[in-house]
Amino acid sequence: MEVAFYAYTILIMASCIAATVSMLSLYAARRSPAYLFVAIAFLLYFFDLTFIFQSEYLSHGVLHDRNMFYAIPSPYLKAILAMGVLESVWIALCYYLNKRNIVLLVAPAAVFLTASLVVIHFLPEGSLRQWCFYSTREVFTAWILLFTLVQYRKASGPYKAGIRKLKVPVVLGVVFCILIVIENTFVILLWQPSTELMNSVAFLFISERNITENLLAFVLALFAVHFSLSASQLRSKDISLPSQDEAEKCYVDFTIDRYCEKHGLTRRERDILCCIVEGKDYQNTASELYLAIGTVKSHTHNILQKTRTKTRQELLQDFWRY
């Protein structure tokens, strides 16, 4: 049993490190803050597991009573790490959806931390206190999922197609969030551990972990690694001649507005950038937009200056890495 718990922990921790490295690699290639914050989320969850693993190791061979089963070791550290994980996911989502309002970015974390401190200071030790403390994580997670669903319902066209790319992690989040609440409710509020269990290794494992939460982290880590590998394969293609299938058109339409906003491009410069991304030369661009070739060249020069690129090829590389 002890070996199984050890292997289980190492597997989850290794998957978090793999996801962290994958997302950092993607960030280095595309320079999108969303990937950086996803990497931070996995790294902080790794540290959260590390401290739990340390607590289990130091408590090995110690007799426990029922009160210890409902204790919250290092509650401030747990609250800060949980806030870091969930806030990193939240900021990554906001960057992806182009929501940069500072109040929107920090308010959920502030509410989460305040709620955690209220539980720590004002509720007496016991099962209810432990359940409320860990349930604040699910409330934050539910907020992230609900916000994503609302944005999807309000969106239309290419922007909606872009949010649809989050379908897999959102569905996983909804399903696992419900399962996490069920597990917490059963283990903390309904289940009464026996004396034999409290003197076993399983007691250390069950009292501080939520197995469903660990599995969610593991599945999302695998998804992140798979996404990173797929993106790397996409980058290896000749980006100067991107295929114009429907999925890619949706991606371009969804990305180009964020890219133009980032670099302060005008509406006309946006139109010309669309033609450049589609692989059109100056003549075809001028014909499509009913402009003189000299005007197209002038706008292209302005785009290169604003994006700090030197050539159209470098501009394309910068766009596809965004």
Based on the fold, state whether residues 226 and 302 are members of the same structural domain: no
Pull the structure tokens for residue 203: 């007691």
Q: Is residue 117 part of a domain?
A: yes
Which among 70, 174, 216 is positioned nearest to 132, based on CA atoms? 70
Based on the fold, state whether residues 118 and 252 are members of the same structural domain: no
Q: Could you tell me the CATH number of the domain that includes residue 282?
A: 1.10.10.10
What is the distance between the alpha carbons of residues 55 and 52, in angstroms, rounded to a whole number? 5
Q: Could you tell me the CATH number of the domain that includes residue 157?
A: 1.20.1070
Angle formed by the axes of helices 127-154 and 102-122, nearest 10°: 160
Contact 319, 253 (CB under 8 A): no
Please give the pLDDT value at position 238: 43
Q: Is residue 241 part of a domain?
A: no
Pull the structure tokens for residue 36: 């950086």
What is the distance between the alpha carbons of residues 258 and 62, in angstroms, rounded to a whole number? 56
What is the distance between the alpha carbons of residues 46 and 14, in angstroms, rounded to a whole number? 8
Please give the pLDDT value at position 16: 96
Contact 234, 251 (CB under 8 A): no
Please give the pLDDT value at position 235: 52
Contact 210, 71 (CB under 8 A): no
Distance of CA 159 to the CA centre of its chain: 19
The tens-digit pLDDT sequence of the chain (322 residues) is 667 777 888 999 999 999 999 999 988 877 778 899 999 999 999 999 998 877 666 565 555 556 677 788 889 999 999 999 999 999 999 988 878 889 999 999 999 999 999 999 999 988 899 999 999 999 999 999 999 999 888 876 666 767 887 888 999 999 999 999 999 999 888 887 766 666 665 666 676 778 999 999 999 999 999 888 877 665 544 444 444 444 456 567 667 877 888 888 998 998 999 899 888 899 999 998 989 999 999 999 999 999 999 999 888 888 877 6
Question: Domain total for the chain?
Answer: 2
Q: Is residue 266 part of a domain?
A: yes
270 is in which domain, residue-wise? Answer: 246-320
Q: Is residue 240 part of a domain?
A: no
Based on the fold, state whether residues 136 and 168 are members of the same structural domain: yes
